[in-house]
Structure 1
């Protein structure tokens, strides 16, 4: 052992030396840090609880294994009470111990050879099984005893769960009986155990124990004998009543046993044998294994939104197997959220503190993961499709005014190519005297675009006063209107300052784009554009560029404006729920409201939608609404682009199409390359 430790120490020393080696040019090898994810940033803000978890993988395997259930069930089915078993247990001693059990139990425990044979068989062949069962009992028996005591049912009935399911809440019999107490579907419903796709309360230790205790109490009111209650639990009260009639009215279990179904005939002896072995395990050399977690070492918390076991495992660092063991009633490894019913999650006590201290962040992470799922078409689109017979598809050519803010490195040639116009047109629209692009100025660009629209069939257009309508003209008329617009466009007011002041910010652990944008009073979109970011993930230590204008550009008369929709936070709301109600994403809500996190308070007003309203001057002096569109004729390759990612931006277009239109033979493309998109 000492040699091994010494070798590990030497290996670690050399590894540290290698990690600090100098490069030939004097530089040092820098180890790439892993990229931070949203999960990492959430967990970095958790309030930590340093108590150690008390359940390990072996114990979880023990609590969820079905081998004990299979073996014990097979023993009960094939039991032969008349077969004598040789074991070191005298009949006189066995009778004496049974008499002591009978004195402190409401059951009629009397000696008979069949009971002696099954006890000796299990002591001879199932010692190891009972050592394991006694360890699991330490977790479940306190629950059983509490439920039985509430209904004034003998506490010894807790041993019945050992016979029924071998203390496995996921046990399912060949006829569909489920859970620790093996309830059938109809019986479970009768005793208010909820069963659906997500939840099966027959596997819930607490609720199923309450139902079993209630069943025992009801059956005792009928039969008045606890042995017959046990028989009715296995075969049903109807079969017990038939056996009583067939025996001539006898009401002792051992007298009517031969009239009961075969499985029930060995059921009560198996129960009494289990009780004997539990009570006298020390005398027979059975050493119980110790439970690593007990019922009182766990607690429950009410769940306020749907959470999966995978999400809880990632956030709380708790194995999924442990969550399944503690919460066996949840079928799909999901804790559901119903508007009319509450669900409770059982966790070890040290994890309860971690959950309750960071509950809002856990729900925020679940809401974030929900936004990543593919969404169906909106209800509005569905309604439009359902009325296809009332509409016809068509296209129109419209003129549209855009603004391009000149940044460092821009020139008129590239700007003209990007918007598919000429340099002369840009100079004319903006009254430029030379070909130099003025840094920081917003250049006016007038384009013509073909857009699709839907119109009602066979209905004449009705004039609408004081409302904007879409301009529908053919291509030739659109070009003439574009020239008129260019000639009549006034110069933009209040040009921006000639230069922009760059700043740099070093990303720290826990930072995100929304917080940085709010800190510098800029938008997330601008930060992505300045630094060529493709996504929202940031790596700690990254140096990002922030451009802050000395003077903001004035908004032209027909520059796009926005109409906002506000929502007031109510009791029970959280940001993910608000986003879902308004069919937007969490990122949009945070950006529109400059939120650094997902925390909101009751009464707070937040923007839940922004509707862009663009107006342009059209022919005949009327204000016509110009539909928003996208110029899909060309695409300029950005840093990090690939042919596959570009093709995904244009539905219906493949990588092969882009290669054919641009004469590309391989996958190599470079930033700044202009690609023709003919789709």
Structure 2
């Protein structure tokens, strides 16, 4: 009797536990998936549990009489549901509705409308164009007096825009910012500002190095369109994350993060047009200028312009390191300047040391370069890059400006100007900037049958007289099989400009340094440095040295 009552108790406990499971777990899954359908699903679960209760009450006594061992198995299954989450729901997978289905974290299915990668996630990022009186002023300037120059810039931008837009999108930067080089560099990869910012995106040296650009005597990747664009995109994205506004990010790109942060603290605003009152004049005009350029570039026909996005017009071929690009151009029967224009970042005029370098050549020349690759490999390695930038020299005990100028093939006047020297006195241990030696290199060309000096001068963009002078030729006759030295004049961004004209100004009564600085378009500090002045006092009748 005690055994039978114990079995009944166990049976009742099993039924009660089944009812609780049937009621509780459907309600929990519904709550997790959709609270809006809770009452309806709860009623379904209650109905289902009622059915299970009736079936259990009708079937359990018969089972007890048939096989008492099944009761222990049923108890084990019930205990298993307490520890196994997969077995807790009383509904089968077919019976569960879509709201009751749950997935493990990280295994959710991605619908077609949802972004599947970082590129798609950034597709909708836009730059909000604002138009006001300042913007309109620059629109009138670009489409008025500056129309010819702006048209040249837009035409130049066509081959860069498609790739730049894609790279910006991949880094989470609005594609409209692809037009920023219009006001930064005029889409000239060799552009250099007064502050020595270089390339399409006008990176100064420290910022370029910070964002992974190589800058040395062999290569300056600030002039590499793709690599500098990637660095600019990451820098702009970082600025946006810091300030939460693309306009403020552009302002910080122009004048630096610290200035923008300081202006925000002073104004207590994060609106560019409010913050700009505390920013430098150049930066105050920077964003309106970009908005104006963007408005025109978005609708060029309206303002009398045209943009044709041609895209990539080159092929890249791997070339061994330390090979002269002038000699490679010679093997391809093309001028040095043409191949140099496709590879402006090669400031040493040769492929850099280390790994092979992907050299850009015009479309159609990739196969030609592959065909002469064995000849390229046999070219003599370049030991030191062609120097197109100033170097530093430490003055020795017995040095003079004249000796140093003679040693480096420059002039005393250029040394003085490069180092802001007013006189010729130098001291041992002093570091001097040595300007570049010149802007001419010589390419070796082996004369082929049918070639004449006129054809070579036209191909290499030089003159017949320069070829004759470089090879000591008295006449224009050249012989097939012989080798000529072809002078190639560089128009490189690093070639120093001509030394400014030295002017002697005789001080007259009433002259002031500020007036003279304004007249000669220099600064007061420059006049003081050129004349070793410790104060701003002027004495009538004396001469001042001024470079203009």
Q: Which has the higher helix share?
A: 2
Q: TM-score, normalised by structure 1?
A: 0.37
Structure with the larger RCO, 1 or 2 (CA within 8 Å, 6+ apart): 1
**Of Structure 1 and Structure 2, which has the larger fraction of its residues in strand?**
1
**TM-score, with normalisation over the residues of structure 2?**
0.46
